[in-house]
Amino acid sequence: MSQDSNDSRDSKDPIGAHLGRSLAALERAARDAGLLAAARAIAAAMIAALRAGNKLMIVGNGGSAADAQHIAAEIIGRYKQDRPGYAALALTTDTSALTAIANDYGFEQVFARQVEGLGRRGDVLLALSTSGRSPNILAALRKAREIGLVTIGFTGLKGETLGALCDHLLVAPTDDTPVVQQIHLAVAHGICDEIERTMMREAPRK
């Protein structure tokens, strides 16, 4: 099918076209051995940190900021099972900290400064960036590495260079920003399920 035909179909039915692109990308992700291996390694790294009494911090901009909050809520609250809360926080939610840091140090430092103040060796920083180029995300990852955090990146096909700052990198098999975000959240839900199941299996029985 030509690009003109695709454009015509998209303009006539943008909702159906978006769902079709999303479905195709999710199917590619489900068959992507590298992506699945990365997701399993990320789940294992998070589980190891939580077992050791460390915490997960999550950062992102725009829609990825909302995803950061969503993922943190699944971990500190619950995903599917009633169980103890696990330590997770999104660094996207404290408006006083965000605005003070941006005002005093520049927007590039809004996450790095929080990582510096809150992060401890052995904690995990999960950075969500569809482009892999956001200066505040890169600064946060650099600071996390200085402190000794485990660094994890979620990005899209155009952001693979983010891997230079990450111990683990998950690359969604698309460069369509909203679809990248959908895959990130779908994979994150799977990781939350793995964390919850594993931690619950290991929890002492009352």
Which of 104-108, 110-114, 142-146, 197-201 is predicted with the least confidence, judged by mean pLDDT? 197-201
Q: What's the one-letter identity of residue 120?
A: R
Q: Is 74 annotated as a binding residue?
A: yes
pLDDT value for 11: 72
Q: Is 61 annotated as a binding residue?
A: yes
Q: Is 155 annotated as a binding residue?
A: no
Model confidence at 38: pLDDT above 80: yes
pLDDT value for 132: 96
Token digits for 148?
């000794």
pLDDT value for 6: 56
Query: What are the pLDDT digits (tens) for 146-203?
Result: 999 999 999 999 998 899 999 999 999 999 999 999 999 999 999 999 999 999 998 7
Q: Are strands 150-155 and 124-128 parallel, antiparallel or unpaired?
A: parallel
Global confidence as pTM: 0.92
Residue 189 burial (C-beta neighbours within 10 Å; 0-12, 13-18, 19+): middle
**More confidently predicted of 180 and 6:** 180
Q: Is 134 annotated as a binding residue?
A: yes
Q: What is the DSSP letter of 59?
A: E
Domain ranges across the chain: 33-202
Q: Is the dihedral of CA 25, 30, 34, 155 positive or negative?
A: positive
Q: What's the one-letter identity of residue 58?
A: I
Q: Is 63 annotated as a binding residue?
A: yes
Q: What is the DSSP letter of 176?
A: -
Long-range CB pairs of 168-172 (<8 Å, 24+ gap) are 168/38, 168/41, 168/42, 168/45, 169/38, 170/35, 170/38, 170/39, 170/42, 171/34, 171/35, 171/38, 172/25, 172/29, 172/35, 172/130
Q: Is 18 annotated as a binding residue?
A: no
Q: Is 130 annotated as a binding residue?
A: yes
Q: List beta partners, residue 60.
A: 128
33-202 folds as Rossmann fold (3.40.50)
Q: Please, how many CA atoms are within 13 Å of residue 161, restricted to the half-sphere of its CB?
A: 8
Cα 16 to Cα 198: distance, rounded to the nearest angstrom = 37
Q: Is 136 annotated as a binding residue?
A: no
Q: Is 129 annotated as a binding residue?
A: yes
Cα–Cα distances in angstroms (integers) from residue 203 to residues 55, 67, 83, in the given order = 18, 28, 9
Q: Are strands 88-90 and 56-60 parallel, antiparallel or unpaired?
A: parallel
